[in-house]
Amino acid sequence: MPEMPREARRMSSLISLDGLTVAHGGNTVLSGVSLSIAPGEIVTVVGPNGSGKSTLLRSVIGAQKPARGTITRAPGLRIGYVPQKLHIDPTLPLTVRRFLSLPDRVSDTRAAEALEQAGAGNLAARQMSGLSGGQFQRVLLARALLCNPQLLILDEATQGLDQPGSAAFYQRIEKVRQELGCAVLMVSHELHVVMAASDRVICLNGHVCCEGAPEHVASAPEYRALFGTGTQGALALYRHEHNHSHDHGCEHDHGHHHEAAE
Amino acid sequence: MTLLDDFLIRAALAGIGVALAAAPLGCFVVWRRMAYFGDATAHASILGVALALSFDVSVFAGVLATALAMATTVSALAGRGYAMDTLLGVLAHSSLAFGLVAVSFLQGVRIDLMAYLFGDILAVGRGDLAVIWGGAVLVLALLWWRWSALLTATLNPDLAHAAGIDPRREQMVLTIALALVVAVAIKVVGVLLIAAMLLIPAAAARPFAATPERMAAIAALLGMLSAAGGLQLAFALDTPAGPSIVCLAAGLFAATSLAGLLLRRSRG
């Protein structure tokens, strides 16, 4: 991929992060992360536990203030957000239909359309607390689709789903992307499923270890060092050998500062 | 206004006013698991009574100020090393103790402590009635205005952020509403039982509500029923009014919980 001038890339992208550094009470969680997302592409962030994946997404939606660096959003960018998990207290009565009208009231037609797109067409009258894991995720997806998003953000959206369930969920995301033409930024543990559905994979461990097309990342030594070389990462070891070699393999030029990531 | 000359009518109107404001706010207290928070704010207000009497300002203003101070202190201290329930336990009981000690220092003023601890609804005057209904309308207006944002922030803070809502601001709105309810309710049920007026009607409404709005409406109805019925009970049985109101509310809670359980059973 020819390197575009940074300014030009920022102009054409939906959102771009430049040198983003985030700290939680003195601990640096992310350091010097730069990335941008173009309209219509599916970008997946992979990384071991505690690598700052969720922090990255929370920064993108504005829930986390960066310590350093900038986040540039396209003017009027519409973001649909599917949170990692949503605990709805059983004391709070909430139908699926009412949930979709939070915080902004939507028409019945719009709600039905979004539920249909998310594959949750028959759930409108159900109580949120009575849904199964898969149904719940599809309702969250429907809610994120209400604003007709240009960028759909999913944070470990398939946690708690079994393998066929999460594979079906990612297929649905792909279908939604085709229908709406939105870009998708997601975080996942399930490398084997995600790899197939993504245009670009970013391997994160406090900093961007490597990024590129899924096949490229899967064969990059940085990625192997993080997830092992076994069955396409399906039995990945979430163990980070921090002395992995950066001398070869990854064609992207990114400054590595090991001390900053620890 | 001969109607308001009757102390029982005034008492009923005062109780209904408090119940009307406390019930929807109580729903948020239940949903957000803030029961102890309500308790701490209420208990702190006895300190407000002492301060108001010693500086010769209105009790309403003193209670409102200390309740607000307490609520903001708790919000600020949350998540700084102590578990929330420990923090609230420390603050609630120590502010109650400091308040009681402060009241004992007051010289020349004979105050009926029991009236502030358990309420003195039968002594509600026209001025009190105006303050109670003014406060209740203010709380209801505040909740009406922020309803959607409050619900979203209650569901999930990140979801709120993504929708451009600041969850901390919504927390502040609830804090202010809570301080207002405490300030208007102190005359009716007293500091020790204010949390009951918040929690019990909301909890009693839960089994029959399918949406948050319906839960708030049912809670308000049950609260008003408890206030009016509790007063009648107190009059008939010659029992203290504030506790009688809470007893009736507790009875309603037991009844709706049982009914809800049986309903679920019969549906399979």
Q: Do B152 and A91 touch (CB under 8 A)?
A: no
Q: What is the overall mean pLDDT for chain A?
A: 79
Helices (H), chain A: 6-12, 53-61, 96-100, 108-117, 133-145, 163-180, 191-197, 214-219, 221-227, 258-261
| pLDDT at B117 > cutoff 70 | yes
pLDDT band at residue B2, thresholds of 50, 70 and 90?
low
- Shortest alpha-carbon distance between residue B163 and chain A (Å): 7
User: Which of A81, A89, A103 lies at the smallest CB-CB distance from B31?
Assistant: A89
Helix, strand or coil, per DSSP, at residue A18: strand
Which chain A residues are Cβ-neighbours of B146 within 8 angstroms? none
Q: Do A89 and B33 touch (CB under 8 A)?
A: yes
Bridge partners of A152? A80, A184
| pLDDT at A245 > cutoff 60 | no
pLDDT band at residue A257, thresholds of 50, 70 and 90?
very low
- Shortest alpha-carbon distance between residue A84 and chain B (Å): 10
Q: What amino acid is encoded at A24 in this protein? A: H
User: Which of B158, B203, B214 lies at the smallest CB-CB distance from A83?
Assistant: B158
- Residue predicted with more confidence, A83 or A16: A16
Q: Compute the average pLDDT of residues A171-197.
A: 82
Residue pairs spanning A and B at CB distance below 8 A: 64
Which chain A residues are Cβ-neighbours of B160 within 8 angstroms? 103
Q: Which tokens in the block code for residue B136?
A: 């209740």
- Shortest alpha-carbon distance between residue A78 and chain B (Å): 10
pLDDT tens-place string over residues A9-59: 555 789 999 999 998 877 888 988 998 999 999 998 988 888 888 889 888
pLDDT band at residue A1, thresholds of 50, 70 and 90?
very low
Q: Is B7 left (phi over 0), alpha (psi -120 to 50) or beta?
A: alpha
Q: What amino acid is encoded at B156 in this protein? A: N
Tally the C-alpha atoms within 13 A of residue A34's C-alpha that lie toward its C-beta: 13
- Contact with chain A for residue B50, Cβ under 8 A: no
Q: Which of B142, B193, B176, B198 is nearest to B23 (CA)?
A: B198
Q: Do B31 and A104 touch (CB under 8 A)?
A: no
Q: Is the ipTM of this complex over 0.90?
A: no
Three-state secondary structure string covering A191-215 = HHHHHHHCCEEEEECCCEEEEECHH
| pLDDT at A173 > cutoff 90 | no
- Structure confidence at residue B109 (pLDDT): 61
Helices (H), chain B: 7-31, 35-54, 59-77, 84-105, 113-118, 126-155, 157-162, 167-185, 194-205, 212-237, 241-267
For the full predicted model, state whether its pTM sits above 0.90: no
- Contact with chain B for residue A58, Cβ under 8 A: yes
- Shortest alpha-carbon distance between residue A261 and chain B (Å): 25
Q: Do B156 and A93 touch (CB under 8 A)?
A: no
Calculate the CA B128 to chain-centre distance.
Answer: 16
Tokens 């307490």 locate to B70
- Structure confidence at residue A6 (pLDDT): 54
- Structure confidence at residue A240 (pLDDT): 37
- Contact with chain B for residue A88, Cβ under 8 A: yes
Which chain B residues are Cβ-neighbours of A87 within 8 angstroms? 156
Over its C-alpha atoms, chain A yields an Rg (Å, rounded) of 19
- Residue predicted with more confidence, A175 or B201: B201
User: Which of A58, A94, A105 lies at the smallest CB-CB distance from B211?
Assistant: A94
- pLDDT > 90: what percent of chain B? 47
Q: Which of A5, A12, A102, A17 is nearest to A52 (CA)?
A: A17
pLDDT tens-place string over residues B153-182: 998 887 888 788 888 899 889 989 999 999
Q: Do A127 and B203 touch (CB under 8 A)?
A: no
Cβ under 8 Å to B: A residues 108-127: 127
Bridge partners of A28? A23
- Structure confidence at residue B158 (pLDDT): 79
- Structure confidence at residue A10 (pLDDT): 52
Mutate to test the interface with B, among A60, A88, A89, A91 (most CBs of B within 10 A): A91
- Shortest alpha-carbon distance between residue A100 and chain B (Å): 11
- Contact with chain B for residue A106, Cβ under 8 A: no
pLDDT tens-place string over residues B41-98: 888 888 898 888 888 888 889 999 998 898 888 877 766 667 778 888 888 889 889 9
- Contact with chain A for residue B171, Cβ under 8 A: no
| pLDDT at A236 > cutoff 90 | no
- Contact with chain A for residue B237, Cβ under 8 A: no
Residue A69 DSSP one-character state: E
- Contact with chain B for residue A61, Cβ under 8 A: yes
Which chain A residues are Cβ-neighbours of B79 within 8 angstroms? none
Q: Which of B72, B39, B45 is nearest to B60 (CA)?
A: B45
- pLDDT > 70: what percent of chain B? 95
Which chain B residues are Cβ-neighbours of A99 within 8 angstroms? 155
